[in-house]
Each structure stands twice: as C-alpha cells, then as structure tokens.
Amino acid sequence: MRILISGASGLIGRALTERLRSAGDTVLVLVRRQPEASKGEIEWDPDARVLDSARLLGLDAVVHLAGKPIASRWTEDSKKAIRDSRVRGTRMLAEVVSQLPTRPKVFISASAVGFYGSRGDEVLDETSARGQGFLADVCCQWEEAVAAARDAGIRTVQLRTGLVLSRKGGMLARVLQAFKLGAGGVVGTGRQWMSWISLVDATAAIQHAIGTAELSGPVNLTAPQPVAHAEFTRNLGKVLGRPTLVPLPAFAVKLLFGEMGDELLLTGQKALPRKLLASGFQFAHPDLESALRWELAH
C-alpha cells in the first residue's frame, strides 16, 4: 500500500512508519522543512496552505497525526496554537485529498479521549456524548475537520487516543526517572481514570484500521482495561521494584500547571475500545502490568 503520514516525527508516527515499512508498505511523510525526496518526504504548511497535491497521487491511505503538544502550561495563545494546529491541518489535508482524481480509500485522523471531558466513573464508548472543557472543544472541532474527506466518500476514522505508554516518549518517559528514584506517587486523589494503550497496540490498531473496511467514525484507541491513577502508580512501582510514596496533591498540580493540570492530570475518562474489539482486533497487551513490562524492556 501507499500510505501518507503526517506527524511522523512524533511518538506514534515514528513507530507506525517503521511498522508499515517493515510490512512492505510505501510510506510518504509530510514535513514542515525542506524535504528529502529520497526519504519519501513531502513539504507542507497548513497555515500557508502549501502542499503539492501532485505528490499525493496514488495514495491508498492517509494517517494524519500532526498537532502541537499539549503537555505544557496553557495560555490563551498556546490554547489557540493547540486548536489551530489540529483543526487547520486536518481541514486542509482533508480538502486536498478529497479533490484528488483518485482518492485514497481511508483517511485516519487523530483525536483524543479528551473528547469526553471529565466523566468520573462513567463507562464511555464511541457512542457517548462529548464532554465539557477546552480539550473536549478542541477534539470536537478536530473530528469535524475531516468533513471534506467524509463528504467525498472517503472512509474516515477519528482515533480517540488515550495515554500511549512508551519509555521513548509521552507521559511514561517523563515520569520514569522520578519513579526509578523512588520519588513517584499518586497525583491528586488517585481516583481519576486513565485510558491507556501500549505503543505496540496503538500502531497495530492503526494498521488494523487502515485495512478494516467496516471501521469508520470515532474509534477509541485505548486498551480494554482502563485503570484508576492510583492503580497505574502501584503497577509502575511494582514493575520497577520501587516505592511510590511521594504524592502530588491537587492544589500543587493546579499551582504548577494551571488549567492543563486540571484537565490532563486531575480528571480522566474510563473509555473502552468497543469498535476495535467488535472489528476483531486482538490486543497484545490488554492489561497494564504486561504493557509496562513490555514497554520498559524494549
């Protein structure tokens, strides 16, 4: 297959590119710098609407993962940049591929479980309504930005991604050293739910979505066993053989991280991957301990 990926330099994008190329697929990647054609790179700039559509001919699939990182203290300017980087890029790419003489069969776009907002212990699947808050607003606009591709008859998939576990990046990589030093602990009450997925399963699920015609619309990219934050903390300490006795209380999170800390660290979602399971996808790491042991060993 001939597959285009944006966000190929990110945690999921790097692993997905390697996985697809190992499977024999031709992978083209969108970059915002001078491209190296020998590496299958194509320049794009969503803000300036720069993208040579002639380079996209013959695509079988598009996987759009690009977006500004959200794990920093939010200001009005940074929130606008987070929103624009997702909505503008998605809308532009969807419009370009929708106008190709031969369109790709599938357009897969990132989203996040933040779509559901803070829902306590409520079990959430792809039929659940959107929630409230900044991230819910962003995800709603982000998902709707695929409209041009969907309206052109391209199968569209919006990946509502949870916490991706990898020692190479993301939240796990950021907290790993503290936990190894015995300075890890529960954040806030510890009762907030964490919808997580191993990096191996995340990339395998995207590959599965590319080739599974019955998958469309929102798809929760999460493992089937979400956990409360306190359980995550216990499991990570157990795998590392380290104590987890240093808490980070809610007031400190709010003081250090403001609104971002409140939405990302103190609240959560109990999201289940019902569509992936119904489509026959098999998780390599359905439980947290096995996922952590695998990711920390490889």
Question: What's the confidence (pLDDT) of residue 254?
Answer: 87
Question: What's the confidence (pLDDT) of residue 38?
Answer: 83
String of b and e for 45-74 (b: at least 16 CB within 10 Å)?
ebeeeebeeebbeebbbbbbbbbeebeeeb
Cβ–Cβ < 8 Å for 226, 288: no
Tally of domains within the chain: 1
Torsional sign, CA 86, 88, 89, 92: positive
Cβ–Cβ < 8 Å for 124, 218: no
Domain housing 27: 2-297
Q: What is the pTM of this model?
A: 0.95
Question: What's the confidence (pLDDT) of residue 103?
Answer: 96
| Burial tier of 254 (Cβ tally within 10 Å: 0-12, 13-18, 19+) | middle
User: What CATH number is associated with residue 85?
Assistant: 3.40.50.720
What length is written for the chain? 298
pLDDT tens, the chain, 298 aa long? 999 999 999 999 999 999 999 999 999 999 999 988 888 999 999 988 899 999 999 999 999 999 998 988 899 999 999 999 999 999 999 999 999 999 999 999 999 999 999 999 999 999 999 999 999 999 999 999 999 999 999 999 999 999 999 999 999 998 999 999 998 999 999 999 999 999 999 999 999 999 999 999 999 999 999 999 999 999 999 999 999 999 888 888 888 889 888 888 999 999 999 999 999 999 999 999 999 999 998 8
Among the listed residues 182, 175, 176, the one whose alpha carbon sits nearest the alpha carbon of residue 241 = 182
Question: What's the confidence (pLDDT) of residue 72?
Answer: 84
